[in-house]
Amino acid sequence: MSAMRSQQTLLVVAMFALLAGCGRSHVVHEPSRGSRAPAGERPVKVSEPKYGTTVVVRRGQNVYRIATENGLTALDLAIWNDIGSPYTIYPGQRLRLYPGSQTGTAVKPGSSSSRSASPTPSRPASTVVVVPRASNVAWRWPADGTVVASFASGDPTRQGVDIAGKGGQPVRAASDGVVVYSGSGLVGYGELVIVKHNDQWLSAYGHNRARLVNEGQVVKAGQQIAEMGRSGAARDMLHFEIRYNGKPVDPQQYLPRR
C-alpha cells in the first residue's frame, strides 16, 4: 500500500510539471539567430548532454543505469516519465530524456507492443525551456551552512546546491507546499523529500539522516522536514534542488542573498 501511495504521489508531481509546461507553452522552439527571449525570462538549452531524445528500455536495464548512461539523474528520469516507486521499467518501454508533455508508455515483457517497439531513438525539434528570472514562490534557505557545490547546467552531478553542515541539524521547507515524495528509492539521493509548491515549482532535499514528514503532508516555510545527514553522500550535507516544470534550475538565482 505504501508503495502504491509513493507511486501515486510521484505521478501527481510529474503530471503537474508536464501539464503545466504544455499548457503554458514553456517548452518552445529555439529562437532563430538574432532573436531575443521575452523580457523577464531566461532561455536554458536542454540539448546537453542528451536532452531531446528518447530511448527504448533493453532487457537488464534499470532507471539508474539508463539515467547515468545518458548524463541524467534518476530523479530526472523518474519525474519526466511518471515513474513511481518502486521504479520498475520494462523492455520495450520508451523513455524521454527531456521534460515534455508526452509520457513514457509502460509495456510489459512478452506483450505484442513490446515485441514491435522500435529501438531507434527519436529526436524532436530543437527546444529550450524558458525559465523566469523571478519566481512566484517566496523561497528561503533550507539549512544553515556553507555552499560547497553550486549548480551547473547540464551536469547531472550538480543539479542543485550542496550545503555542508552537521549531522542531525534541521532541514527546513524552503517555502509552503505539500510533500509529494518521502523515501529512499532513488539512487544517488539517499533519504529524499520532495515538496510541491505550486503547479510549476518543486524543491528536493537529499542525503538526509532522517525524514520527518510523510507524503501528502502540508508544510509551511521554515518547518523542519528532515535531519541533515550523509545518506548516499561522503559527508554530512544537504543536497537541495529547485525544479521548474520538472527542469532543475539554479537555486541561488531564487534564494535570498545571505
171: left (phi over 0), alpha (psi -120 to 50) or beta: beta
- In degrees rounded to 5, what are phi and psi of residue 112? -65, -35
Would you say the pTM of this structure is higher than 0.95?
no
Give the gyration radius of the chain's Cα atoms.
18
Closest CA to 134 of 200, 180, 195, 80: 200
Cell readout for 144 is 544553515
Looking at the fold, whether 116 and 235 belong to one and the same domain comes out as: no
Please indicate, yes or no, if residue 181 is contained in any of the structural domains: yes
Same-domain check for residues 128 and 163: no
Say if residue 119 is in the same domain as residue 210. Answer: no
DSSP state of 2: H
Report the distance separating Cα 258 and Cα 255, nearest Å: 9
Domain count of the chain? 2
CATH number at residue 196: 2.70.70.10
- The candidate with the shortest Cα–Cα distance to 239, out of 152, 164, 168, is 164
Report yes or no on 258 lying in a domain: no
pLDDT along the chain (258 residues), means of 10: 49 39 30 38 44 82 85 84 81 84 35 35 48 92 97 88 97 96 88 94 97 96 98 95 92 94
Same domain, 109 and 212: no
> What is the pLDDT at residue 248?
92
The alpha helices in the chain, defined as continuous H runs, are: 2-23, 63-69, 74-80, 112-116
Contact by Cβ (8 Å): 170, 79:
no
Residue 231 belongs to a domain: yes
- Which amino acid type is present at position 202? L
* 188 contact partners, CB below 8 Å, separation of at least 6: 64, 73, 74, 75, 206, 232
Identify whether 79 is part of a domain: yes
| Helix, coil or strand: residue 16 | helix
Residues 199 and 247 in one domain: yes
Domain C-terminal end among 108, 132, 156: 132
Considering the domain architecture, whether residues 18 and 121 belong to the same structural domain is answered as yes
Residue-range definition of the domain harbouring residue 174: 146-253
Domain boundary pick from 78, 102, 132:
132
Evaluate whether residue 139 is within a structural domain.
no
Q: With respect to residue 140, please indicate whether it lies within any of the assigned structural domains.
A: no
Does residue 9 contact residue 181 with C-beta atoms inside 8 Å?
yes
Structural domain contains residue 138: no
Q: For residue 150, what pLDDT is reported? A: 96
